[in-house]
Amino acid sequence: MDRLDRLELFARIVEGGSFARAARELRVARSSATNAIKDLERETGVRLLARTTRHVTPTPEGTEFYRRARMILAEVEDAVGHFSGSPSGHLRIEAPGLLTRTFIVPRLPEFLDRFPGLTISFTQSDRLVDIVREGVDCAIRAGQPQDSSLHMRRLGALPEVTCASPAYLSRYGTPKGIDDLEGHRMVGFLSSRTGEVMPLEFTDGGRITTKALPTIVSTDNSDTAAALARQGMGLIQAPRYRFAADFANGTLVEVLAATPPEPLPLNAIHAGGRVLSQRLEVFLDWVKGIFASLE
């Protein structure tokens, strides 16, 4: 097993958390995989993997080595794809789960049919990921990146709504305008950047007005926030697609439709400093076509 093969093996062990799984995927004996990692650790002079009887995880040094190994493997994959005329290799995309399931997954077969040399893994959370450290090709997120070393490509914008449950509106009344919000409360959504509860936002005659209402429950998870709104905990604002089923079955009702929040800009954030890989370029072009239709 040459050095490049050992890097691929190491990366798959980290990603799958298993020597046996990585060995099966690469069709090598488990003993050969073990010896290859020992060779890597001998060459680097550090312990790369922490092993227990049930789990394999990278050490801090192993995490950094994984990041660098993935960059090397990505460059090799991209070089092969460039000269073969078709992109190949693996894409690691970080994106919210519901957004992925609503917009990307239904059309994913057509993308993979067009580019059969590609494979994709989706990681999904509301938190901000360290793109470089975690080996992610890009993160699909709303808003502007705070890290100036990262690059951003606009994909589109998501229309947003204000809504609440029928039980909440029955108890607190249905606001007809922004001035009617006195005495209302909201589901608190915690900013991943500041840790503070984000105010509600409204567009009124071309102006943006924010309102910070009282909260009794807050969360930093969008699925939990939606569940709290269904339980009557307050007004909530989020992209319209999130509540499509709720509006259809009546568990949530849109309010203040004449003064909606500004559409939420949707961006693909990726590491800067070099030209995009061919595989990421074709993926971003395809995803942009999906979200551009929403504007």
* CATH of range 1-83; options 3.40.50.300, 3.40.50.1000, 1.10.10.10, 1.20.1050.10: 1.10.10.10
From 11-25, 150-164, 203-217, the region with the lowest mean pLDDT? 11-25
Question: Band of the pLDDT at 75, cuts 50, 70, 90?
Answer: confident
* pLDDT tens string 98-119: 999 999 999 999 999 999 988 8
Q: How much is the average pLDDT of 46-57?
A: 83
Residues 6+ apart with CB under 8 A from 211: 178, 181, 199, 200, 201, 202
Query: What per-residue confidence (pLDDT) applies to 180?
Result: 95
Span 160-262: which CATH code?
3.40.190.10
The more confident residue out of 135 and 191 is: 191
Give 278's pLDDT tier (boundaries 50, 70, 90): confident
Gap between the Cα atoms of 22 and 2, Å rounded: 16
Q: How far is CA 293 from CA 155, 157, 269, in A?
A: 10, 9, 20
The 3-state DSSP class for residue 120 equals strand
Give residue 148's pLDDT. 56
More confident residue, 146 or 157: 157
Say if residue 236's pLDDT is above 90.
Answer: yes
Question: H helices within the chain, ranges in order?
Answer: 3-16, 19-26, 30-44, 60-84, 97-99, 108-114, 166-172, 222-230, 244-249, 278-292
Summarize the chain as % helix, strand, coil (round to 5).
40, 25, 35
**Of the candidate ranges 59-63, 224-228, 287-291, the one whose mean pLDDT is the lowest:** 59-63
What are the boundaries of each domain within the chain? 1-83, 86-156+264-295, 160-262
The CATH code belonging to domain 86-156+264-295 is 3.40.190.10
Q: Note whether 1-83 and 86-156+264-295 share their fold.
A: no
Q: Compute, in degrees rounded to 10, the torsion defined by CA atoms 62, 63, 69, 71.
A: -170
Please, which pLDDT band fits residue 287 given cuts at 50, 70 and 90? very high
Which has the closest alpha carbon to 165: 259, 221, 246? 246
Per the prediction, the chain carries an average pLDDT of 87
